[in-house]
Structure 1
Amino acid sequence: MAVPVDALMLDPTAQGTLQSRIQQMVAQGILSGRFRRGEKLPSSRKLAAHLGVSRITVTLAYNELLANDYLTSRGRSGYFVSENAPDPPAFADREAAPDRIDWDRAIGQRFTGGASPAKPLDWQSYTYSFIYGQTDPTLFDHTNWRQCAMQALGVRNFAAMTADYYDRDDPELVQFVLRHTLPRRGIMAQPEQVLITLGAQNALWLAAQVLLTPGRRAAIEDPSYFALRDILRQTRADVVPVPVDAGGLPPDLIPDDTQVVFVTPSHHCPTSATMPLDRRRALLERAGALDALIVEDDYEFEMAFLHPPAPALKSLDDEGRVIHVGSFSKSLFPGLRLGYLVGSARFIDEARALRASVLRHPPGLIQRTAAQFLSLGHYDALIRRMAREYDARRRVMEAAIAEHGLTIAGTAAHGGSSFWMRAPDGVDAEVLARDLARRDVLIEPGATFFAEAPRPIEFYRIAYSSIPADRIPEGIARIAQAIAARQ
C-alpha cells in the first residue's frame, strides 16, 4: 500500500531547515503509526511538487531517513518504510486533544436520552439467542440475492444504479410495491402516493416530522415501539400513551383532541396482538370523528402463517386519513433498511421534500437489487420458506413454554416471530437478562416498551426468528431455571 502524497503536510510552526522539517514530518508519520512498515512513500519528485520545494531538498531528507533506518530504498521502485523502523506507541497510550467546548450550551437540540436499549451486536455468538428482529442466515436466499445484485451492477442497469434520482425512486421498485405488495394488503395506489424509505423507522420519522409540531397531540400504544417514542419526542408534540389490550389499541380511549394516532394493527409491538376487523373499523370511525390522521405501521404482515392476514387499515380507509408504513427489512434482512410510505399525494409530496433535504433517496443499487429480487419471485419463495420454518419453531417453543410453566402475556393470532412473556411478580427482566447472558442465552427485557415510570419490570420478549428449532427447548429450560432461581 502506498502513502498518499496528500498525507504529507509541513507543519508551518515547525522550526529548522526545510530538509529537517521534511525529515521530521516523515519520521512523525512513522512513529505515530500512520505510515506502516512496507508502505511506499511518494517519489522525491512528486513530494517536492506537492510541498513546493526543490527535489534535492526532499532527496536529502529521504537519504537522512535511510541512514537512520526509518526508510529503505528498493532500486528503481522508490522509498519504503523500513521493516526496522521504530515501533509506534500504542494508540491507547496517546492522550487525546483536550475538548474545551461547553457542549451543554453548544447543543441546541438533544436526540440522546431515549429509552431505546442497546442490542448486542454479537448475538450470533450465543447458542440460545432469542433476540427479535435478526435474520437466521440459514433461511436467507444468498444465491439469488447475489445474482440480483450482479444484475443490478450490470450494463443494462447501470443508469438505475448510478443515476441521481433527485427526490424520486427506482420506478421498478415502485411498480412492484404498487402492483404486488399493496394489493396483497387490499390497497390500491398511484405512483405519486408511494415513497421509498430507509426502512420503516425512517418512514415513521418522516411521517412524524410532517404531521406533528409543538402543541399538536399524538396518541401512541402503550406499550409500544421504543424508537417511535424517541422519534415523537423530537417533534415536541404532546404524546399521549393509550394502554392496549388483547385486541390492540382501544379507539374509545383516544383523547378527544388527538390529531395523529400511531398504531400497529397487524402485529402490535411488542405484544404481537392483532387488531380485530371490527375494532379497525371503530378506529377509523373514531379518527373520522376527531378529524385525526392514522399512521399504520404494518410490519410483519407477511408472517401470517396461522391464518390469512387481516386487511390493512389503509384498505378500509375511504377518506384518505390513513398513512401506511411498510418494510422489506424484517422479511428480507434488517440491514437492508428499505421500506415505503403510502398516503395521499399531498402528504407524500411533503415527505418526499423532507427526505430529499436529508438523503435525496435510498441508494439506487439497493433499490434495483431489491426490485430484481422481488420481481423475479425470489421474495415470495423466501416468505413461504420462512413461514414454514417459523411455524415449526413456534410449535416447538409453545410446547417448551408449556412444559416449563412459563407465562405468555401476548401472542399473535396470525403468526409473527416472537412471544411476549411475563415473569412472576417481582422478577426483574433486566436482571434476568443479565443472568441468562452468562448462561449463553439472550432475551429482550420489556420495560423499555412502556411509556411512563414506574415501568413494569416483569415483561420480556423471546423471538424464534434467530434460533434453530433444535436449540429452543434447552434455551427455554435455561430461562425457566433462571426465573426459578430468582423467586
Structure 2
Amino acid sequence: MELHVVIEGDKDLTGQLYRQLKEAIRAGRLAAGERLPPSRLLAERLGLSRKTVSEVYARLTFDRLLTARVGSGTFVAEGAARKPAPVAARALAGSAMVEHWRGMSTPLRHPAPAGSARYEYIGGAPARDLFPHADWRRCVLHALRQGARSRGLYGDAEGLHELRDGIARHASFSRGVRCGAADVLVTNGAQQALDLIARVLVEPGSTVAMEEPGYPPARLLLEAQGAKVVGVPVDREGLVVECIPDGTRLIYVTPAHQFPLGVPMSERRRRALLARADELGAIVIEDDYDSEFRYEGRPADSLQSMDEHGRVAFVGTFSKTLSPDLRLGYLVAPLAVLEAVGTARHLTDWHTSTQAQWALAKFIADGDLNRHIRRCHAAYAARRERIVRRFADELSPWFELLPVTAGIHMAAICRREIDIGQLIALARRVDVGLYPLAPFFHFSPPRPGLMLGFGAIDEADIDPSLDRVRDVLLQMG
C-alpha cells in the first residue's frame, strides 16, 4: 500500500516530509506498529534523496514517534497517536432524515446474545451442520474456472442466465410457479427483492397492506419508502381479505407459511385475495421464504400459479434452504413491473456476485439442491415432531402450539398469563435461547407467546433444552 505523502516544489523538503508523517502518526492514520517503507524505497517514490528521508526518520525517532528495529525496519511507536480535539460543526442539513433512519427498530437484526445459547430456538436459521460443504466447494471451484474464462466485465442486472434458468426450473418444480428464465431476477436475498418492488411501486403516501402480525423488516422497508402501511388481521385461514382497504397499491403476504404464526392461507382466501388485487389494480408480493419444507397434507398452489392477471410477484430465497451467508434470493416479477425492476436493480446494486451465481447455478443443475432439501426435510421433520410431542405433554399447561404444516419455525401461544420477558431471561441463564412473538405485532396488541425456530437446534438437544424450559416455568409458578 502506498504511503500518502505530497511533496510540493523543491524547498524545505525535509520539513514537508517531517510534518506530514508526524501529522499522520498523531492523527492515527499511521497506526501503532505499522511498518514504514525503507528509506531508499520512499525516497525513490517521492523523488527525494535517501539522505532527506533518513534524516526525517531520525527526527521522528528522536521524538519517540517512530522506533527502529535492527534487521526489521522502522515502525510507528506505541502510544504515538493522540485523540483529536472535537471540532464544532454546523447542523447537518439532512439531520431529520438521519434521525429517522437511526430511530428505526430492527427487531430481526440478531444482535448479541441472539443465536449464542447452547440450545437455540432462533427463527429463520437453517441447520449449519447440514450445509453440503463438499458439494458447494466443488461448485465454487467450477465458478472460479468460469470466472477465469470471462472477460472481467459487469454482468446483467437481472442475473446470470444459467442461474435464472435453474431457478425457474426449481420454482416450477417445487412450487408450481409459472415462469421462464426471462421472468426471474436474481437478488441479494429476499429483502432486496422487496426493496426493488417497493422502489418501482411505492410513492410517499401510497397505501400498502400487509399481514398483522407480520414480518417487521418488510413493514419498515415499505415505511422507509414513504408508504402508509396498513395491518390486515390474520386468522386460521390466513389474511382476512375483506379488511384490505380501498386504494391499496401493494399487498405483502406469506401464504404458504404465515410469518410468524405459521398458518397456511386457505384456497378460498387465496382466490379472494387474487380477486381483490385485480379489483384494486394492486400487486401482491408472495414471500415464499421456507415452504420447501412441508410435513403434512398436500402441497397448496402458490399464489403466482393461480394468478391469471399478472398481479403476483413471487419472492424466494436460498437463505433458509442453504445459508443466509450466501445472500442469494430471487424475484419472479409480473410483466407489468419486470422491466422497471430490472432498471432499479441496475441503478442501486447492478448485480449479485457472479461467482456466487455460477456456483449456485451448478449446484442446482447437478441436482445438489434437491438432494440437500430432502436431507434437511428429514432432519427438520424429526425435530418438529419432537417439539410437538413435548408441547402436547409437559408444556401443554403453559402453551398451545399453532398448527403448522411447513417451514422451520412454529408459534406457541400462552394458555395462561406468563411473563415472557422473564421466561426468556431465565431460560438464557440455563443456556436456552427463546424468542418472543411480541415484536411481530405492530398494529394490534401482541399475543403473548414464543416463536420456536427448529432449524438451528439438533434433535438430540430438544428434550434436554425443553426440560430446562419446563423447570424454569415451574420456578416461575
Q: TM-score, normalised by structure 1?
A: 0.87
Paired with 2:349 and 2:151, the residues of 1 have a C-alpha distance of: 16
Amino acid at match of 1:146: R
Paired with 1:94 and 1:330, the residues of 2 have a C-alpha distance of: 45
Paired with 2:90 and 2:463, the residues of 1 have a C-alpha distance of: 53
Range with greater deviation from structure 2 (322-331 or 174-183): 174-183
1:452 aligns with 2:447: no
Q: Does the Cα contact within 8 Å between 1:411 and 1:418 map onto a contact in 2?
A: no
* SS of aligned partner of 1:295: strand
Please, which of 304, 309, 324 is the counterpart of residue 314 of structure 2? Answer: 324
1:199 alignment partner in structure 2 = 189
Paired with 2:12 and 2:24, the residues of 1 have a C-alpha distance of: 18
Q: Map Cα deviations across residues 160-197 of structure 1 (whole Å, 9 max, x no partner).
A: 69431142411110110122323432222233321111
Please, which of 3, 6, 10 is the counterpart of residue 3 of structure 2? Answer: 6
Q: Map Cα deviations across residues 335-354 of structure 1 (whole Å, 9 max, x no partner).
A: 11111111223311111111
Q: Map Cα deviations across residues 98-153 of structure 1 (whole Å, 9 max, x no partner).
A: 46353485354633433421414565542111101223221110111111111100
Structure 1 pair 177/171, CA: closer, same or farther in 2 (3 Å)? same
Paired with 2:151 and 2:168, the residues of 1 have a C-alpha distance of: 21
1:263 aligns with 2:253: yes
1:436 aligns with 2:433: no
Amino acid at match of 2:91: D
Please report the RMSD computed on the Cα atoms of aligned residues, expressed in angstroms. 2.9
Please, which of 252, 257, 260 is the counterpart of residue 242 of structure 2? Answer: 252
1:185 aligns with 2:179: no
Structure 1 pair 107/213, CA: closer, same or farther in 2 (3 Å)? same
Q: CA deviation at 1:442?
A: 1.0
Q: CA deviation at 1:86?
A: 4.4
Q: CA deviation at 1:239?
A: 1.5
Range with greater deviation from structure 2 (180-189 or 355-364): 180-189
Paired with 2:415 and 2:87, the residues of 1 have a C-alpha distance of: 49
Structure 1 pair 21/290, CA: closer, same or farther in 2 (3 Å)? closer
2:55 alignment partner in structure 1 = 60
Gaps of at least 5 residues in structure 2 are none
Structure 1 pair 99/187, CA: closer, same or farther in 2 (3 Å)? farther
Q: CA deviation at 1:33?
A: 8.6
Structure 1 pair 140/316, CA: closer, same or farther in 2 (3 Å)? same
Amino acid at match of 1:468: D
Structure 1 pair 153/105, CA: closer, same or farther in 2 (3 Å)? closer
1:137 aligns with 2:128: yes
Paired with 2:368 and 2:88, the residues of 1 have a C-alpha distance of: 52
Range with greater deviation from structure 2 (361-370 or 178-187): 178-187
Q: Does the Cα contact within 8 Å between 1:115 and 1:227 map onto a contact in 2?
A: no
Q: CA deviation at 1:325?
A: 0.8
Q: Does the Cα contact within 8 Å between 1:446 and 1:458 map onto a contact in 2?
A: yes
Paired with 1:376 and 1:99, the residues of 2 have a C-alpha distance of: 60
Q: TM-score, normalised by structure 2?
A: 0.89
Amino acid at match of 1:252: E
Paired with 1:347 and 1:33, the residues of 2 have a C-alpha distance of: 47
2:73 alignment partner in structure 1 = 79
Please, which of 393, 402, 408 is the counterpart of residue 410 of structure 1? Answer: 402
Paired with 2:386 and 2:30, the residues of 1 have a C-alpha distance of: 54
Q: CA deviation at 1:332?
A: 0.6
Structural mapping, 1:78-477, within 5 Å:
79-81=73-75, 86-88=77-79, 94=83, 97-98=86-87, 100-103=89-92, 105-108=94-97, 110-117=100-107, 118-121=109-112, 123=114, 125-154=116-145, 156-159=146-149, 162-402=152-392, 403-405=394-396, 406-413=398-405, 415-452=406-443, 455-456=445-446, 458-477=448-467
Q: Report the number of matched residues.
A: 468
Paired with 2:4 and 2:15, the residues of 1 have a C-alpha distance of: 18
Q: Map Cα deviations across residues 419-440 of structure 1 (whole Å, 9 max, x no partner).
A: 2112355434334323322221
2:37 alignment partner in structure 1 = 42
Q: CA deviation at 1:35?
A: 4.5
Range with greater deviation from structure 2 (324-333 or 248-257): 248-257
Amino acid at match of 2:342: R
Structure 1 pair 108/122, CA: closer, same or farther in 2 (3 Å)? closer
Range with greater deviation from structure 2 (165-174 or 378-387): 165-174
Structure 1 pair 33/167, CA: closer, same or farther in 2 (3 Å)? closer
Aligned sequence identity (%)? 31
Q: CA deviation at 1:358?
A: 0.9
Structure 1 pair 274/223, CA: closer, same or farther in 2 (3 Å)? same
Q: CA deviation at 1:307?
A: 3.4
1:70 aligns with 2:67: yes
Q: CA deviation at 1:333?
A: 0.5
Structure 1 pair 185/223, CA: closer, same or farther in 2 (3 Å)? same
Q: Does the Cα contact within 8 Å between 1:248 and 1:265 map onto a contact in 2?
A: yes
Range with greater deviation from structure 2 (285-294 or 109-118): 109-118
Paired with 1:467 and 1:94, the residues of 2 have a C-alpha distance of: 46
Q: Does the Cα contact within 8 Å between 1:446 and 1:457 map onto a contact in 2?
A: yes
Q: Map Cα deviations across residues 287-337 of structure 1 (whole Å, 9 max, x no partner).
A: 223332211111111011333421100000111111111111111101111
Amino acid at match of 1:411: P
Q: Map Cα deviations across residues 54-109 of structure 1 (whole Å, 9 max, x no partner).
A: 332112223455677711353xxx8332xxx74327x8x94674463534853546
Paired with 2:284 and 2:92, the residues of 1 have a C-alpha distance of: 37
* SS of aligned partner of 2:101: coil
Paired with 1:141 and 1:243, the residues of 2 have a C-alpha distance of: 39
Amino acid at match of 2:250: V
Paired with 1:152 and 1:343, the residues of 2 have a C-alpha distance of: 27
* SS of aligned partner of 1:169: coil
* SS of aligned partner of 1:361: coil
Q: CA deviation at 1:467?
A: 0.6
Q: Does the Cα contact within 8 Å between 1:47 and 1:58 map onto a contact in 2?
A: yes
Q: Does the Cα contact within 8 Å between 2:125 and 2:456 map onto a contact in 1?
A: yes
Q: Does the Cα contact within 8 Å between 1:322 and 1:343 map onto a contact in 2?
A: yes
Gaps of at least 5 residues in structure 1 are none
Range with greater deviation from structure 2 (354-363 or 182-191): 182-191
